[in-house]
Amino acid sequence: MKKRRVFDIELPDGEETFPAGKVEGQDPEGEADSAAAPRRSPMAAAISENADALRNRRVLEDQIRAENDALAAEHVRMKKLGLIVDLVDLDAVECRKLVRDRKPGDDLELAELVASIRDLGLSNPIRVEAREDGRFELVQGFRRLAAYRQLLEETGDESWRRIPAGILPRGEDLQALYRRMVDENLVRKDISFAEMAMLALNYVRDPGIEENDPDRAVAVLFKSAGYQKRSYVRQFIRVMDRLGDHLRFPQHIPRALGLKLAAQLEERTDLVPQIRTALEDWDNRSVVDELDVLRKAVAFDERVEGQGARAAGQGAKPGRPASRAKTTFQVSTPQGAAKCTAANGRLEIKLARDFSALDRRRLEAALARLLSDLG
């Protein structure tokens, strides 16, 4: 008979023990004891989770709404500044609301602009004002619009049918729209005093403008220009107001000739009828013809008067030559309009043509004939 072995097990005094795997406050299936924590039904848990989801959704919607409000406010701000750019159909752009300062069909630099846009694209969008009928009124960019229309006509490429345009909102003050147009045009080097004078005259004739004094209109429209330039514009207003309807090429009137015309128009009542009689029924006259009529009417000697006070030795600085007078005009050719500048010791012809491609002997012969005809 085998002897049993007895092992002594010592348990700690006063310490409660629990079955293996059981945690205090839980029943044998692992659920919390009802005495330790209240139990939630599946429906209550689902309601709680749904409430949390709704709260999170509301927070997200508030964030999205705030972002949309900020974007809308920024859109309105940029629209008021005309910084919202879109592609606008050429046929939807009208040029009626503002009287332009550029005479149609007399832009010798348009060919250069067309070539630049064709090669590099349009770097500066035009500005238009939205109309209620879905069309647009041009504010800035008459030459750029003309260049796009020419490109479409010449190439037939539909990509030129729509032009990038900054869209101004409807209702901007008419005076402000004129200022927008004028300020952009002031940076053009070739804009003439006659064109600026005509713009001031047309501005006061606009029924939507309260101002009726062209001299005061100059201060409004050409506020960005210097005092001396505004003074010249006012003098040219006298010329254009009395002779504008009889002149075909007023933009080519040199400053000195225009100032003398303005002065004599105030003194001589016979001057306007004399010039009108000399120009009437002369349909084929050129720029040179028209300027010659004006010069003869006021006995204008460009070699003397074009140099002003310095040519007479008044106020001339030692070592600095007096300013030289020059005449600019255009001549129609089969290749387009040629812009010519004649000055003391210089005759310049500017035409959209590569003269270096011509045979040298042919070019020399043509120039020899020209100089021979000039005498």
For the residues 46-71, what does the mean pLDDT come to? 78
Neighbours of 187 (CB within 10 A): 8
What is the rounded CA–CA span in Å between residue 24 and residue 17? 10
> What confidence category does residue 260 fall into, taking pLDDT thresholds of 50, 70 and 90?
very high
pLDDT score for 313? 42
Segment among 69-78, 131-140, 158-167, 207-216 with least mean pLDDT: 69-78
Two structure tokens written together for 7? 């092992």
Residue 60 has pLDDT above 90, yes or no: no
pLDDT score for 370? 83
pLDDT score for 82? 58
Counted residue by residue, the chain has a size of: 375
For the residues 211-222, what does the mean pLDDT come to? 84
pLDDT score for 243? 92
- Are β-strands 136-140 and 93-94 bridged in parallel, bridged antiparallel, or unpaired? parallel
DSSP string, 38-54: PPPPHHHHHHHHHHHHH
Segment among 96-110, 118-132, 267-281, 350-364 with least mean pLDDT: 96-110
pLDDT tens-digit map of 271-298: 999 999 999 888 788 888 999 999 999 8
How far is residue 316 from each of residues 84, 232, 259, 312, measured CA to CA in Å? 52, 22, 21, 8
pLDDT score for 152? 92
Residue 205 has pLDDT above 80, yes or no: yes
DSSP string, 296-323: HHTT--HHHHTTHHHHTTSSPPTT-PPP
What is the rounded CA–CA span in Å between residue 239 and residue 229? 16
What is the rounded CA–CA span in Å between residue 246 and residue 272? 9
pLDDT score for 161? 93
pLDDT tens-digit map of 79-95: 666 567 789 899 999 87
> What confidence category does residue 322 fall into, taking pLDDT thresholds of 50, 70 and 90?
very low
Neighbours of 336 (CB within 10 A): 14
Which residue did the predictor score with more confidence, 148 or 46?
148
Two structure tokens written together for 318? 């030692």
pLDDT score for 40? 65
Q: Is the dihedral of CA 230, 231, 236, 242 positive or negative?
A: positive
> What confidence category does residue 200 fall into, taking pLDDT thresholds of 50, 70 and 90?
confident
294 close to 249: Cβ distance less than 8 angstroms? no
DSSP state of 281: T
Residue 362 has pLDDT above 50, yes or no: yes
Two structure tokens written together for 135? 């069309």
Full-model pTM:
0.48
For the residues 219-227, what does the mean pLDDT come to? 80
Segment among 47-56, 281-290, 317-326 with least mean pLDDT: 317-326
Nearest to 253 by CA among 266, 244, 265: 244
Nearest to 101 by CA among 211, 168, 170, 184: 184
Provide the mean pLDDT of the chain.
76
Contacts of 213 (CB under 8 A, 6+ apart): 204
Q: Where are the beta strands (DSSP E) in 159-202?
A: 162-168
Nearest to 239 by CA among 268, 210, 208: 268
Which residue did the predictor score with more confidence, 330 or 228?
228
Q: Which domains does the chain have, with CATH numbers?
A: 68-173 (3.90.1530.10), 307-312+323-375 (no CATH)
DSSP string, 191-210: --HHHHHHHHHHHHH-TT--
Segment among 28-32, 58-62, 67-71, 325-329 with least mean pLDDT: 28-32
110 close to 146: Cβ distance less than 8 angstroms? yes
